Chains A and B, each alone.
Chain A
């Protein structure tokens, strides 16, 4: 399809629709959680523990997806959990991206000693087992939202650095970079105007992937009880609680698990979709 100016116009693919739609729903849920949550996510009621979801017998009105063993409403906890998950995804993902991509860009374009320092650093960094590293880190700096974000950034910047370095190296060998240099542009200027726009699609794809990973890491940390607090509603925390009572109350485990799965999938698919859409060569 071509519009009047001769530019091809691509319909937004199903992939973008579905992943973007799910994330949008999630964002709304997170923002409006206090308004739409049917119950207080922290309110315990031992008399209404392990209530099943609404389509099974023995439910109580107001507890749509059932309750956990302490009688807390699963749906409300999931809605509030979306807040945490999205905050972690956005903040940790963005920070990781900025730090990792800048270092990768510098290493890949400047080469020489900056590359040697950054690359060796990445090598050493990647030799640590990441989850263990995160647990150790949290044990040292303490639990809490900031610690989780910090842990994710510290663990995962290497992913960006590696990929963007390789990409920047490839772009740096192109003739248009040589032309820019011949035209008397400074190296830093060339990096920003010539290299960066060309690695941007990759950065965007990696960023969304990283957001998915951040959600998973947060879940893993809650699973080992190192996330915010044991009481706070997080998906990982719910999964770990649900695991202990999976035979009596499967819904406590399954609903957060499905949400987590869909969210991570959506992030990665969103990245792919955006990359296809904004890469001028593929477009």
Chain B
């Protein structure tokens, strides 16, 4: 099947020339969940932001292609790009506390999207929003619609964000560490909720996280990122049985187990990090040449 989102050789750099993403390529097929793992600062979120066109101002895309539903986003004018992204993709953000506008009630924040993108009437959008809130298991959705964000808990807000991400029936969802800012107990519910919603709506999902445990639960395939470079791209089962890249192996080894939590908690060995750094440097040299 042709992938719905296909990133080819994407490079992103700081305005001063420092590379953030190095020739990143990955594919996400319709109905599949693709994990994106790496340590903090590896550039995981920047991939999602490149696709959605919300890169910070200091960064710019220096090369590559982003194919979304058969169109290269980087080759069409910005206004058109924004429209296409709005119609086909949505974001589940990292921090539910800052992702809702504090001055507006929940209801309009969800329905706005439906009115804007799908051209629905207010009443239809209202009904659909109620349905969506019920779908993400919010009790008393009619009341929640009238609430302001600060009146709700973090978990509630993340549910609302999930509902509003799925609202306009996007074919691609980018989840940017959706569980990081939440309590461990809530994390699990939210994770299950995202997986359920994805399965029900059949969207493609790009799941950014630093948690291999989370990846193993929800993803079909994954890319491991180090210093803006994809070091391994694998199907889920293959990755957990036979990781190829030494860095992936070290990452897996660093995951604590239930039976021996302290003994199994191993840092990534320095030799592996050195090896990856060498790879990155080599890549940069080739890139400049």
Contact = CB atoms under 8 A, between A and B. Distances in A.
A234 B82 CA distance: 56
Interface in B74-106: 82-83, 85-87, 89-91, 93-95, 98-104
B242 interface: no
A195 to B, nearest CB: 9
A200 interface: yes
A197 B117 contact: no
A181 B99 contact: no
A161 to B, nearest CB: 20
- Highest count of chain A CB atoms <10 Å: which of B87, B89, B113, B161: B113
A185 B83 CA distance: 8
B200 interface: no
A182 B85 CA distance: 7
Contacts of B148: 280
Contacts of B259: none
Interface stretch (A54-62, A70-78, A172-180): A172-180
Interface stretch (B50-58, B209-217, B224-232, B271-279): B50-58
A243 interface: no
B57 A112 contact: yes
Contact of A194 (B82, B94, B101, B161): B101
B101 A181 contact: no
Given A179-B164, A182-B52, 20 more contacts: A174-B98, A175-B93, A175-B94, A175-B95, A175-B99, A176-B98, A176-B99, A179-B93, A180-B101, A181-B53, A182-B53, A182-B86, A182-B90, A184-B85, A184-B87, A185-B86, A194-B101, A197-B103, A198-B103, A281-B102
Interface of B: 52-54, 57, 82-83, 85-87, 89-91, 93-95, 98-104, 109, 112-113, 116-117, 143, 146, 148, 150, 161, 164, 168
Interface of A: 5-6, 111-112, 174-176, 178-186, 194, 197-198, 200, 280-281
